[in-house]
């Protein structure tokens, strides 16, 4: 009887510990418009559901994440159902499933991506915000809790669509009503192996930052700007929960970051916009 009681206590304790240590993602929409987040789980990992959902302005959704999950999270914009076919499509970052659920399909570039690998090497979570596949919305990742690792915040706080070089711009609408809704990567725009880090340029020694990746990097120094931009763009934490904010307000972002002890700060918006203003013309003149 005592042995059964002891085993029951052990089982209860393990169950309780597992519950406490589970990871959550709180996905927050600070954009002025509705967004449609999409989620893609990596190969051979437990799937995080739902794989797509609607999130109105000012709303949030919290997801409990499977252990050792790996994958990507992004936000689709300008989405609607085609009344004639019933197909669901989006103006940016569509996953191509034709439905609200992405169901194993990733974002069609350009898209700002949050990338995670949980419980990786030494039990650490690895996470980043990537502009390697282009950009469509500002994004911020903030940790809650965390016992090891830097647990730094990361992201891209600036709306780059208005400052995007002309040759990378994705526009929506016609004439005077046209607006820039996304910014392509140079790889997506030109298909050149030099920009894509492919073929003869598929190693860190042969693939280097381009004038276009530097545009993204100067605006968002903690985000991935090209394939081998690892040293300043990958972050780690253990036993943390994560808040993923789309269109973070500058004062909200700075308030969150001000409570942390990070040595390297995310860029202030006014400094970033000064850089963009100085370099936008020279970027747009390049082919």
Which position has the token pair 């993923």? 244
Task: Give per-residue pLDDT as tens, 91-128.
Answer: 999 999 999 999 999 999 999 999 999 999 999 999 99
In this prediction, residue 21 has a pLDDT band, given cuts at 50, 70 and 90, of: low
As a residue count, the chain comes to 287
Q: What confidence score (pLDDT) does residue 252 get? A: 52
Mean pLDDT computed over every residue of the chain? 84
> 18 versus 153: which is more confidently predicted?
153
174: DSSP letter: S
CB 52 within 8 A of CB 101: yes
153: DSSP letter: -
Task: Give per-residue pLDDT as tens, 275-286.
Answer: 444 444 445 444
Cross-strand bridge partners of residue 145: 240
225, exposed or middle or buried, with CB in 10 Å at 0-12, 13-18, 19+?
buried
Does position 55 have pLDDT exceeding 90, yes or no? Answer: yes
Q: What confidence score (pLDDT) does residue 249 get? A: 82
Average pLDDT of the residues in 14-43: 82
CATH says 22-284 is which class?
mainly beta
CB 110 within 8 A of CB 183: yes
What is the C-alpha to C-alpha distance for residues 5 and 8, in angstroms, rounded to an integer? 5
């Amino acid at each position: 009887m005592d042995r059964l009681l002891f085993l029951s206590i052990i089982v209860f304790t393990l169950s309780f510990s597992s519950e406490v240590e589970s990871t959550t993602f709180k996905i927050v929409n600070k954009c002025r418009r509705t967004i449609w987040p999409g989620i893609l789980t990596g190969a051979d990992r437990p799937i995080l559901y739902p794989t797509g959902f609607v999130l109105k302005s000012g709303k949030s959704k919290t997801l409990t994440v499977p252990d050792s999950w790996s994958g990507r999270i992004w936000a689709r914009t300008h989405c609607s159902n085609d009344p004639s076919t019933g197909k669901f499509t989006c103006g940016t970052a569509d996953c191509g499933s034709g439905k609200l659920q992405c169901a194993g399909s990733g974002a069609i570039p350009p898209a700002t991506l949050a990338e995670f690998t949980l419980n990786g090497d030494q039990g650490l979570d690895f996470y980043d915000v990537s502009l390697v596949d282009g950009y469509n919305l500002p994004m911020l990742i903030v940790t809650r809790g965390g016992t090891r690792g830097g647990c730094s915040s990361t992201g891209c706080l600036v709306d780059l669509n208005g400052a995007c070089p002309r040759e990378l711009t994705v526009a929506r609408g016609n004439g005077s009503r046209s607006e820039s809704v996304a910014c392509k990567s140079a790889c997506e725009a030109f298909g050149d192996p030099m920009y894509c880090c492919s073929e003869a340029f598929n190693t860190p020694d042969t693939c280097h930052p381009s004038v276009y990746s530097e545009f993204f990097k100067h605006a968002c120094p903690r985000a991935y700007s090209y394939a081998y931009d690892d040293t300043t763009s990958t972050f780690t934490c253990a036993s943390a929960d994560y808040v993923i904010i789309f269109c973070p307000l500058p004062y909200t972002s700075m308030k969150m970051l001000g409570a942390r002890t990070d040595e390297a700060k995310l860029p202030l918006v006014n400094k970033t916009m000064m850089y963009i203003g100085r370099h936008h013309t020279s970027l747009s003149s390049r082919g």
